[in-house]
Amino acid sequence: ARGDESGSPADAWRWITSGDLRASVSYLASDRLGGRGTGEPGIVLAERYIAASFEEAGLVPVPGHDEFALTFSLYARAFDADRSRLRFVPPASEPVDSVSIDPGVIDARAGEDFRPFAFSDQGELDAEIVFAGYGITAPELDYDDYAGLDVEGKAVLVLRHEPRETDPASVFDGAVPSPHAFFLRKAENAEAHGARGMLLVTDPLHHRGPEDLRWTTPLYLDREEADALGLAEAAPDSGTPFLAAQIGGSLARRLLEAAGGPPLDEIQRSIDESMEPEPVDLHHLRVRMRIARDDSVQTMAAHDIAGFLPGSDPDVADEWIVIGAHHDHLGRFAGAGDTIYNGADDNASGTAAVLALAKAFGRSAARPRRSLVFITFTAEERGLLGSYALVRQNLIDMDRVSFLLNIDMIGRNPDRPLELTGDGFTRGLDAIIEEANRGLEVPLRLGGTDLTANTDHVAFYEREIPFLTFFTGMHRDYHQVTDEAERLDYPRMERITRLAHGIARRVADRDLALSFVQDLPWLGVRVENEPTDTGERRARITAVDPASPAAQADLQPGDILSAIDDRAVEGGRSGEQLDEIRPGSSASITVTRPKSAGDDESDSGARPIRVEIERAHPGYLGIAPGEVVDETRQALGLHDDEGVMVVRTLDDGPAQRAGMIAGDVIVSLAGRPVNLATLRGRLAQIGAGEKVPITVIRVGEHRVFDVTLGVRSDS
């Protein structure tokens, strides 16, 4: 009977309609909710709406909670707007080449006229301003904005982006930003020429909309991380700080008028036409600048919203299936015109799907065997903080969670397949997906073991919990104020959400829970976190590479990992312990080997076997890494914390030998997402001589390079 119930979706699907999906998105992405920014008033309205929808669907709070909100704390050490300032001081009024200079001081308004860059030092600066074009030095292109300029000890005013930004024939790669366009590259170039500060203004010819100059600050789950930020900035590496900020276009126009300079669009047009620096005399205009952070750490409450549907089978109802999506977005900023990041696709679409699924399961006549937990995460846009809080702080009983179905952006790109992430980490999930898609025929692209997508499934992956994420791809409205409700394809969202229902139903009604599977290339094994007949889990080796350290140590398929360095493998979760065997170290691995046909008859059963494993010392990749800045992320369709820019490759280094070049953007290392903050740690886990697949984006295309890390020399 259960099979008939799970295979007949008509009763449930009547609650999953394009009309209901449109209604949810239209509210969540409305101007009233102000972009659902973490810590902003609009997200409170979103969370109330989600909780009310869960209650209406017949859900109850998760066991251990009295309400739908799962509350946790976030910590921040913000830039201090009261102690930071930006003041421009023209020289005393006097004729200069028949131009009268305005003697008035111009004070910039924090959050409206300027914002510090996250990479800026703290400190003070009083310096003359020099206009330096786009702030680019590119000898390989015979282009140098600093040619003939003396910027020693001064502050440079530079344009954002690069010359001929939208021209496909431009030497700067047209609409695809080259590394010279990046904020950090411009700052590093200014400092290399002796400047002590940089003021960047958005170039006006192609960018005339309102500017987001909010003072944002990183948020942390751990107070210690926010404290450490203050300590690190209190002791800078060099004695001379370099200050960097973005200023608004209206402020830049006032400065040029005060200094008797030409309009900014005329300056940009001249540079773009000639492809040569444009000298602009600012008549000794000066900037007095101070950038400071708060002395104290701020604490704020944040909320994931979760509803619970008890399972129908007492034998497996204690196993929970999580169906989730993040409900936060980027909020709003001050200014004229459209200043709200409505976030219709990102991720009102996924949230609407979760609400529809809650109604479909909650009101269906036949409940699934396992219990369902419907969750919308907060603070995904600030670093996956809501899902990390859930998993790391055990906001619900994570030991009961056996699967996550995550939905993030499913409303756009009707001509592209639905992209799935996670199928390669779960045995049998591909067959479930195929069966659920019969009759719906949603075009799919399975991701295998590629973890490039960086969303709320990451915390579950790290916990070795099977997962699957839905995603229909990036688009030009991603993280723009143009991500509006009317741009979504609701009939297609209906089919995708019904597919999600079919997958979740089949996972919830299985006799055995799904198994998490992962490959460990350095050891040469595939390990499966499999359930047993008793409901417990164990880590079983299912494959061994013949030329691997595991094979040399005589590990075999079928071996059960029982201990690593005498520490028991609990709950079948061996990945974290195996990851702790760092390059340059050794460890003992104890396995239990089932009795085989060739064993002595006196051997009564499985026996423990202990082996020693050694790893080579850490290898090196051979690149100079850099930050991927906002405009490049948008052009390449990357999330906010994705990617590492290859600024240059070392001659004859591992990366260069494998075919990587400057300008490549690394998005994954060994199948896992990577950014500038995590690159060093990821590489430290790979030994010299070990091969690692590296996925990069080059001129808009994904490429995979198999790089064998090199042996570090003493030098």
pLDDT, tens digit (0-9, with 9 covering 90-100), for 337-388? 899 999 999 999 999 999 999 999 999 989 999 999 999 999 999 989 999 9
For domain 2-74+298-508, give the CATH number: 3.40.630.10
* Torsion sign across C-alpha atoms 118, 121, 123, 129: negative
What pLDDT does residue 597 have? 55
Contact in structure between 106 and 87 (CB atoms under 8 Å): yes
Q: Among candidates 314, 291, 310, 459, which has minimal Cα distance to 384?
A: 459
Assess whether the region 523-614 and the region 619-711 belong to the same CATH fold: yes
H and E: helices and strands count for the chain: 18, 36
Contact in structure between 440 and 417 (CB atoms under 8 Å): no
Write the CB contacts of 417 (distance below 8 Å, at least 6 apart in sequence). 442, 443, 444, 445
C-alpha angle with apex 133: 129 to 139, nearest 5 degrees?
Answer: 120
What pLDDT does residue 574 have? 77
The residue written with tokens 């028949």 in the block is 98
What pLDDT does residue 92 have? 56
Q: Among candidates 370, 378, 372, 332, which has minimal Cα distance to 351?
A: 378
What pLDDT does residue 232 have? 43
Task: Please classify residue 150 by burial: count the beta carbons closer than 10 Å to its beta carbon, then call 0-12 exposed, 13-18 middle and 19+ buried.
Answer: exposed
Write the CB contacts of 235 (distance below 8 Å, at least 6 apart in sequence). none
Instruction: Give domain 523-614's CATH architecture.
Output: Roll (2.30)
Alpha-carbon gap, residue 356 to 678, rounded angstroms: 36
Q: Among candidates 399, 313, 327, 322, which has minimal Cα distance to 358?
A: 322
Which spans in 444-488 are helix H?
457-462
Q: Is the CATH code 2.30.42.10 the one for domain 619-711?
A: yes
Write the CB contacts of 494 (distance below 8 Å, at least 6 apart in sequence). 16, 17, 18, 21
**Which parts of the chain register pLDDT below 70?**
1-8, 91-103, 173-177, 226-239, 452, 572, 596-605, 640, 713-715
DSSP secondary structure, 64-110, as one string:
T-SSSEEEEEEEE--B-TTT-EEEEEPPPS-EETTEEPP---EEPPB
Contact in structure between 677 and 663 (CB atoms under 8 Å): no
Beta strands in 292-424 (DSSP E): 298-309, 320-326, 371-377, 401-407, 418-421
- b/e per residue 466-501 (b: at least 16 CB within 10 A): bbbbbbbbbbebbbbbebbbeebbbebbbbbbbbbb
Alpha-carbon gap, residue 486 to 342, rounded angstroms: 11
State which CATH number among 3.30.70.660, 3.30.365.10, 3.50.30.30, 3.40.1010.10 fits the domain covering 85-291: 3.50.30.30
* Torsion sign across C-alpha atoms 344, 349, 350, 353: positive
Strands 607-614 and 644-649: unpaired
Which residues are paired to 307 by β-bridges?
374
Element (H, E) at 473: none
What pLDDT does residue 713 have? 64
What pLDDT does residue 2 have? 38
Distances from the Cα of 401 to the Cαs of 321, 357, 398, 638, 713, in angstroms? 6, 18, 5, 29, 46
Alpha-carbon gap, residue 446 to 426, rounded angstroms: 12
State whether residue 26 is helix, strand or coil.
helix
- 142 CB neighbour count, 10 Å cutoff: 9
Token digits of residue 32: 């009233």
Alpha-carbon gap, residue 685 to 604, rounded angstroms: 40
Contact in structure between 336 and 351 (CB atoms under 8 Å): no
What pLDDT does residue 599 have? 54
Write the CB contacts of 672 (distance below 8 Å, at least 6 apart in sequence). 451, 682
Token digits of residue 545: 């590479």
Alpha-carbon gap, residue 360 to 501, rounded angstroms: 8
What pLDDT does residue 8 have? 60
Q: Among candidates 580, 644, 289, which has minimal Cα distance to 452?
A: 644
Token digits of residue 635: 């052009």
Token digits of residue 184: 């950090």
- What's at 541, amino acid-wise? I
Residue 683 Ramachandran class (φ > 0 left, ψ -120 to 50 alpha, else beta): alpha
Domain boundaries, the chain: 2-74+298-508, 85-291, 523-614, 619-711
Element (H, E) at 398: none
- What's at 292, amino acid-wise? A
Write the CB contacts of 687 (distance below 8 Å, at least 6 apart in sequence). 522, 583, 584, 615, 616, 617, 618, 619, 709
Chain center to CA of 24: 25
Token digits of residue 517: 């599977």
